Amino acid sequence: MDDGLVEMVVESVRVHMLSSRHVVILKEADSERERYLPIWIGPWEASAIAMKLQGLTPERPLTHDLFTMTLETLDARIERVIISDLADETFHARILLERDGQASEVDARPSDALALAVRAGARIFASEVVLEQASLGRNGGLGEDTEGSEGSTLEATGERLVDPRLDVFRDFINSLDADAEGGEGRSS
């Protein structure tokens, strides 16, 4: 952990078959903790993340590809992205850029920040505060302190939390086979 930040990896991008909603699931890089951060995202961002994770290249650059190529042309690089805050039931992210030794920070939606991170090979972090508020442990509980407690679940639409106690989301997360080989959008 660095300054209250926890390194994460994109575990997968999934689609809930009944609602056709998309979720990106971040997993804590420290495999002993097994905390997951699910963020519901739009279909375009989900596709952009999943395509890159699966090694697919579109015929023409998508918006995130264009932005990444533009940064490269300007000799700038994405140093890391941070899921930095959960305020007013909305996730917030920051993209940290570096160019000629100068650091810059850009506010972003988490879905866009993650799509850029997977393209640039940048490290992904989440603040410990966000993980305490919204992470799911291996038993589907919200955060570590409530892991396994009844009603400790998370539901979101877009990148907004709707009701942190809806059982349907826990059931959805528990129905995902996180250990399946070759899962959609699975990263290594």
Token representation of residue 165: 């106690």
Residue ranges covered by each domain of the chain: 5-175
8 A C-beta contact, residue 123 and residue 82: no
Q: How do beta strands 123-127 and 76-87 pair?
A: parallel
Residue 168: the pLDDT is: 54
Who's near 9: CB < 8 A, 6+ residues apart?
26, 27, 29, 124, 187
**What SS3 state is found at 35?**
coil
Q: Which residues of the chain have pLDDT under 50?
A: 1, 139-166, 180-188
Residue 16: the pLDDT is: 80
d(CA 144, CA 135) in angstroms, rounded, equals 8
**One-letter amino acid identity for 86?**
L
**What SS3 state is found at 22?**
strand
Residue 2: the pLDDT is: 61
End-to-end CA distance of the chain: 20
Residue 20: the pLDDT is: 84
**Is domain 5-175 given the CATH code 3.60.90.10 in the classification?**
no
Residue 38: the pLDDT is: 92
What burial class does residue 167 get, using C-beta atoms within 10 Å of its C-beta: 0-12 exposed, 13-18 middle, 19+ buried? middle
Residue 143: the pLDDT is: 42
**What SS3 state is found at 8?**
strand
**What SS3 state is found at 32?**
coil
d(CA 89, CA 87) in angstroms, rounded, equals 5
Beta bridge partners of 25: 12, 38
Closest C-alpha among 41, 47, 133 to residue 84? 133
Token representation of residue 11: 């575990």
The structure's pTM equals 0.74
Long-range pairs for 25-32 at CB < 8 Å and ≥24 separation? 25/176, 25/178, 26/83, 26/114, 26/124, 26/126, 27/178, 28/131, 28/135, 30/6
